[in-house]
Structure 1
Amino acid sequence: MRFFSHIAAILALAIFAAQPAAAQSILRDAETEAFLDDISKPLIEAAGLEPNNVDVILINDPSINAFVAGGQAVYIHSGLIDAADTANEVQGVIAHELGHVTGGHVIRIGEGYQTAANISILSLLAGIGAALAGGGEAAMGIIAAGQQAAMGKFLAFSRTQEASADAAGAEYLSKAGITGKGSLAFFGKLLNQEFRRGISQKDESGFYRTHPLSGDRIAKLSEVYERDPAWDAPLNPKWETNFARVKAKLEGYVADPEATLRDYPESDTSIPALYARAYAYHKDALVERALETTDALIAKAPEDPYFLELKGQVLLESGRPEEAIVPLRKAVDLTRAEPLIASSLGHALIATEDKANFEEAEQVLRAAVGRDRYNPFAWYQLGVVYAARGDMARARLASAEQQVMRRQYPLALRSAQAAEAQLPYGSPDWLRAQDIAMEARALMEQMCEMDRANCDKRRR
C-alpha cells in the first residue's frame, strides 16, 4: 500500500453555487487496484462501457461515501471499504455510481441549479414588487417562500437522480449475474446510521435530503432484486477472499496500530490478520516483528507478489534498500512489471546509492511511467536517475511531470520550458515538454480566473 498526494478533483456541490474543488489524497496500491478492477469489470460491461476507460479510485477518507465527479471515474472512500463486509456490498455501490456515470448526472446537475435559480429569481422579483407597493413584511415572506421552493426543487432533482442511479445499478447487477443482496445489505448499514443519528424515516422528513430515504430505497429495490434471476447467485469466492485481504491491509495502513491489533489479534493467523498486523507493526517501527509477520505470509504463499512487495516495502522504508531489491525484483517479475511495484523497485535501486544499479532503475521506472503516467513518485525517482547521469533536460521533464500532478503549476511550467529548450527539437520528449507547458499555463490561468471571481464575490 502506498499513499500518494495525488490530487483528485472532487466536485463539491452546494445549493445554487459550486464551491471550490476540494483536494483529497488518493490511496494507490497494486493489489487493491487489481481487486477493484476485477470486481468492477462485469458491471462496467453491463453498463455498456469499456472497462479500460473507467477508473475506480480509492480516496483516503474515513467517511462512508462514494461519488462520481465527471468523466468515467468512480471514487470510493476508504471508510466505505472498512464498513463493507463483502465484495458484493462494494459491487452494489459501484453499480449505483455507474448509474450516475451513464446517466450523465454530474453534467446534468446544472439543470437542477438552473430550475432552482429561476424560482429564486422570480420570488425575488415578486418580493421587490411587494416591497415597492409598501408591503415590507409580505415582501420578505414572498422571498423566503421562494428560496425554500427553490431549495426543494433542487433537492427533488437530486433525489430523482439518486433513484435513477439505484434503478440503473440494479439493472447492471442483474445483467452481470451478480446478486443484489450486497446492495441491500449496504443500504441497511446506511439505514442503521440514520437511525443512530435520529433521522426520521417519515416521508415529510425527506424534503431537505439530497438522497431518497434509505428505508424507501430498500423497499423499492427489494422488490426488484428478489424477482431477479441473479438473486440466489452465490458470491464469487475469489472476490470475497481478495476483499478480505485488501480490507485488512487497508486498515493496517490507515488505522492506528492499536485499533488494528484489536481487530486482528495475534491469535488470528489467517492471511488477512497477518496482513493487517504486518502494516501495524511497520507503522509502529517494530521492524523485526513486521518482517516476521511478512515472512509468515510468504511461507503460506511463496509466489504471491503482493506479500513480496510488502516485504520489500518494509525493508526499503526501514533503511535497508539492498535487502529490499530481491523481493521487489521477484514481485516485478511475477506481476509482469506492475507499475506501482516497479516504481518501488526503482526506488530501492536508487536508494542503495550504488551507481551500478541506476541503469536497471531507469529501465524499470521508464516502464512504470510508460504504463501509468499518473505516478508522481515514479517521475521523481526517474528525475533523480537522469540528474545523476547528467541528463538535466530529461530530469527537468520528469520534474515537470510530477509537479503538474501535484498542482505546482508555476514550477511545472518553468521545468517544462527548461526541458523544451534543451531537448532535441521535434523529439517525443520535446513534444511532451510542450504539452506540459501548455497544460500548466492553462491551469494557472484557470486558477487565476477562479481567484478573480472569488475576489469579485467578496467585494460585493
Structure 2
Amino acid sequence: MANDHPTLAAFMEFRSTMAEKTAKSVAPARRDGRGTGRRCANAVVALATAVSVASMSVMPASAQSIGFIRDAEIEDLLRDYTTPILKAAGVGASAVHIYLVGSTAFNAFVADGRRIFVNSGVLMQAKTPNEVIGVLAHETGHIAGGHLARMRQQLQNAQAISILATLLGAAAMGAGAASGDFGSGAQAGNALMLGGAQIAKRSLLSYQRSEEAAADRSAINYLNATGQSAKGMLTTFAGLADQSMLSAKYADPYAVSHPMPRERVSALERVARESPYFDRNDPPELQRRHDLVRAKLSGYLEHPGTVARRYPKSDKSLAANYARTVSQMRTGDYRAALASADGLIKAMPNNPYFWELKGDLLVKSGKPREAIAPYQKAVALAPNPGLIKVSLGGALVAANDPALLNEGIKYLNGGLQEEPDFVTGYRHLAIAYGRAGRVPEAELATAQEHFKRGDYEMAQRFAQRAKQGLKTGSPAWLRADDILTYKPPRS
C-alpha cells in the first residue's frame, strides 16, 4: 500500500529504512506465505512474546508489511472505541496515542504507558466493533496496571518508529531462528534494534502470566463500566486459542509470559458470562462504520483478486462498493474509481471520508487542482480533519499555481499542528517551502521529518542549517534549537 504520489496523504503508509532491511532479510524465509509449519512451532511462543511485549498476538507479522498507516477515518473509529474504555480505567484519553501498524497479522500491544499499537489485521479480522474494543480494553489494562513501569524511562522520549524498529529487531531474530537461518535473522535484527536489545529484554522479563490475567480481568471491568459486552473479547481469545494450538502443544507453560490459550479462554468465559451486558450488541451505526473500515483496509492492503472474492459485484452494500472503489484506484482504473466514488457520495453525502477518497483519486490521477474542492468538503465534515488538511495543502501546492502556494502552506502547517506525528506531512511542507523560496523553513521541515522518524543525526544536521537562516528567537528558530539540544534516549 505504499504511496507513489507526493501529495497523496490519506491512508499513507510510511516505512523506516530499518523495517525495509528486515523485509529483505526475512522475506525469503517466508516467501510461501506460511509461518506456522512444524519447523517453527518451537519458536512461535517466544517470538510472539518478544515482538508483542504486552500482546494479544499468536504469530509475528510478516516484516514485508510492517509500517505505520495514517488514516483519518480509521483513527476516528479507534478513538471512539478507546475513549470510553480509557475513561473507565482512569487514564486520560489525550495522554494515550493509538498507532495503526500495517500488518494483517492479528496483534495489538503496548510498548510504554502512553502508546498502543494495533495491527490492521485486528480490524480486518474482527467482525464486530466489540471484538476490537475487547482487544483495546485488554491493552488498556496493561497501561492502567502499570505493567510497563520498568520501560517508561527508556521509551518515554523515543519516537514510535524507533520503538517499532526495536520490536521488529526481536521479530527478525526470532524469524531467523524459526527458519533455521540464524545468520540473516541476527543481521537484520541487529540492524533494526540499533542497540535496543535491552529494551526488548526488559519488556519481556517484566511480563508475568499473572499480569496478563490481571489485564484480562481489568478489561472486563472496563467493559462492564461502559455497558458493553465481553462477548467480543471472548470470541477473540477463542480464535487465538484455535490458531495457537500447534505452538501451545510444544510450549512450556512456565516459560511463557501469557497464560496458555485454553486456560485463558476458560477463565475469561466464566467471568464474561456473569456480566449483565453479555448479550448486548453493538449499535448499528458503530457496526456500519466498522464494516466500512474493514472494507477500506481490504481495498488498500489485499490483492485485487482477494478484494473481488471478498466483495463480489453481487454485493451491493456500501462497504463492498467502498472496497471495490479503493481497489480500482490501486490498480489505476481511475475512471471507474471516480464513478464509484461519486456513487458513494450520492449514497452518503455527509460522509467526509468519501469526499476525501475522491480527492485522493483526483490527485493520484494527476488532477490536483480538481481535488481541492473534495478535500475542502472533507475538511468541513470531518470531526478530526488534521490529516485531511495535509492532503488539501498538498493538493494546493501540487496545483503548481503561485496564487495557491501560501494557502497550501497554511493548510499543511495547520494539519501538522493537529497531527504532529504525521511524518510524511513534513516532507510535503518542505516541498512547499522550497517552491516558495523559503529555504530555511524547508530545511526545518526536513529536520522535523527526520526527527519524527528517529533519525536524530540527520535531524540535527538539517536543524543546524535551518537555524542559521532563521530569525533568532522566532518560533521556527526555537523549534530548530529544540532539535539540536535534544538528547536521544540511551538503549
- Shorter-chain-normalised TM-score: which range? 0.7 to 0.9
Provide the rounded CA distance (Å) in 2 between the counterparts of 1:221 and 1:14.
Answer: 23
Residue aligning to 1:67: 109
Residue aligning to 1:186: 236
* Paired residue secondary structure (1:69): strand
Assess if the C-alpha contact under 8 Å between 2:248 and 2:261 holds in 1: no
**Is 1:87 aligned with 2:129?**
yes
Deviation at 1:312, TM superposition (A): 0.7
**Is 1:173 aligned with 2:215?**
no
Gaps of 5+ in 2: 1-9, 20-44, 54-62, 153-200
- Cα RMSD for the two superposed structures: 2.9
Provide the rounded CA distance (Å) in 2 between the counterparts of 1:387 and 1:108.
Answer: 44
Q: Structure 1-normalised TM-score?
A: 0.80
Aligned residue type for 2:400: E
Give the direction of change, closer, same or farther, for the CA distance of 1:386–1:337 in structure 2 (3 Å limit).
farther
Q: Which has the higher contact order (CA 8 A, sep 6+)?
A: 2
Residue aligning to 2:474: 427
**Alignment map for 1:394-409 (pairs within 5 Å):** 394-409=441-456
Deviation at 1:7, TM superposition (A): 5.9
Provide the rounded CA distance (Å) in 2 between the counterparts of 1:324 and 1:49.
Answer: 39
Give the direction of change, closer, same or farther, for the CA distance of 1:8–1:89 in structure 2 (3 Å limit).
farther
**Is 1:338 aligned with 2:385?**
yes
Assess if the C-alpha contact under 8 Å between 1:423 and 1:429 holds in 2: yes
Aligned counterpart for 1:158 among listed residues 208, 212, 233? 208
Deviation at 1:387, TM superposition (A): 1.9
Aligned residue type for 1:94: L
**Alignment map for 1:285-434 (pairs within 5 Å):** 285-335=332-382, 338-434=385-481
Provide the rounded CA distance (Å) in 2 between the counterparts of 1:97 and 1:263.
Answer: 30
**Alignment map for 1:123-162 (pairs within 5 Å):** 158-162=208-212
Assess if the C-alpha contact under 8 Å between 1:7 and 1:26 holds in 2: no
Q: How many residues align?
A: 395
Q: Structure 2-normalised TM-score?
A: 0.75
Provide the rounded CA distance (Å) in 2 between the counterparts of 1:213 and 1:410.
Answer: 43
Provide the rounded CA distance (Å) in 2 between the counterparts of 1:336 and 1:40.
Answer: 16
Q: Deviations over 1:345-392 (max 9, x none)?
A: 111111111111112101111111111111122222222222222221
Deviation at 1:407, TM superposition (A): 3.0
Aligned counterpart for 2:83 among listed residues 41, 44, 53? 41
* Paired residue secondary structure (2:104): coil
Gaps of 5+ in 1: 111-150, 451-460
Deviation at 1:4, TM superposition (A): 3.2
Assess if the C-alpha contact under 8 Å between 1:57 and 1:74 holds in 2: yes
Q: Deviations over 1:262-304 (max 9, x none)?
A: 1001111111101111111111111111112111101101221
* Paired residue secondary structure (2:316): coil
Provide the rounded CA distance (Å) in 1 between the counterparts of 2:261 and 2:384.
Answer: 44
Give the direction of change, closer, same or farther, for the CA distance of 1:8–1:234 in structure 2 (3 Å limit).
farther
Q: Deviations over 1:425-459 (max 9, x none)?
A: 112111111111223xx33x84xxx6xxxxxxxxx
Aligned residue type for 1:58: L
Assess if the C-alpha contact under 8 Å between 1:400 and 1:415 holds in 2: yes
Aligned residue type for 1:190: L
Aligned residue type for 1:172: Y
Give aligned-pair identity as a percent. Answer: 36
* Paired residue secondary structure (1:206): coil
Give the direction of change, closer, same or farther, for the CA distance of 1:412–1:109 in structure 2 (3 Å limit).
closer
Give the direction of change, closer, same or farther, for the CA distance of 1:159–1:95 in structure 2 (3 Å limit).
same
Give the direction of change, closer, same or farther, for the CA distance of 1:375–1:108 in structure 2 (3 Å limit).
closer
Aligned residue type for 1:387: G
* Paired residue secondary structure (1:105): coil
Deviation at 1:336, TM superposition (A): 6.5
Assess if the C-alpha contact under 8 Å between 2:147 and 2:206 holds in 1: no
Provide the rounded CA distance (Å) in 2 between the counterparts of 1:194 and 1:359.
Answer: 55
Aligned residue type for 1:101: I
Residue aligning to 2:191: none
* Paired residue secondary structure (2:118): strand
Give the direction of change, closer, same or farther, for the CA distance of 1:24–1:107 in structure 2 (3 Å limit).
farther
* Paired residue secondary structure (1:280): helix
Residue aligning to 1:146: none
Assess if the C-alpha contact under 8 Å between 1:155 and 1:208 holds in 2: no
